[in-house]
Amino acid sequence: MTLGGSAGTYTFVGTPGPVAGESASAAWKGRTFPFVLSVPADAEPGTRLPDCALVLKDAEGTVQEKGTCAVTVGLPAPTLSRPQSGVPLGAMPRMSGTAYPGAQVTVRDALEEEICATTAAPDGAWSCVPSVALQPGAGRVQATATFNGVSAASEQIHVLVTEVAGAQPDTVTDSEGGRLTPKAAHDHAGRAGR
């Protein structure tokens, strides 16, 4: 295989196994031969690399097929670092992680329903909060990043939502900027009135 002036060799083990009535050379046609290339670290995901040519040879070195190939720079998988797996969650937890800068990040549940979406910052950090409260119980979440026509997914995180939407007590802020629960707010108001 050649690409942009560089060449590489890949060895596929096994025989193409011609179908009854086919010639041995016909068995090479219409097959897929996946391969991985190393590209410069600054290669932009989604970029199609030009001048890719592929030559398929059998074990004896006889050329069976020649042609062009398509090479697209892949996207690094995003991370989903928050929430952490197994840690009980509220109904509206903040999701966060890292992804390729500028990538559109979408967090989905086990049913592929969108939980929240955002764009990764120039440093790769991203975070979002669900637009709708998560249902109580066990579930899974996964982040998918998309950039320039290519996508990659994070590992799935197992979550346990223990809080019913709206069950969290309301909070108010005291004069020093601290958060108070309803009982503490009542006590604070009583002290201020004295």
State pLDDT tens for residues 76-124: 899 999 988 888 888 899 999 999 999 999 999 888 999 999 999 999 9
Distances (CA, A) of 34 to 12, 69, 159: 10, 10, 35
State pLDDT tens for residues 38-91: 777 777 887 777 777 777 777 777 877 777 777 778 888 999 999 888 888 888
How far is residue 124's CA from residue 43's CA, in Å, rounded to a whole number? 16
Distances (CA, A) of 88 to 96, 139, 149, 174: 16, 11, 35, 29
Give pTM, 2 decimals.
0.62
Residue 157: how many other CB atoms lie within 10 Å: 21
Which residues make up the CATH 2.60.40.10 domain(s) of the chain? 79-161
Instruction: Look up the CATH superfamily of 79-161.
Output: Immunoglobulins (2.60.40.10)
Nearest 5 degrees, angle CA 116-CA 121-CA 122?
Answer: 160
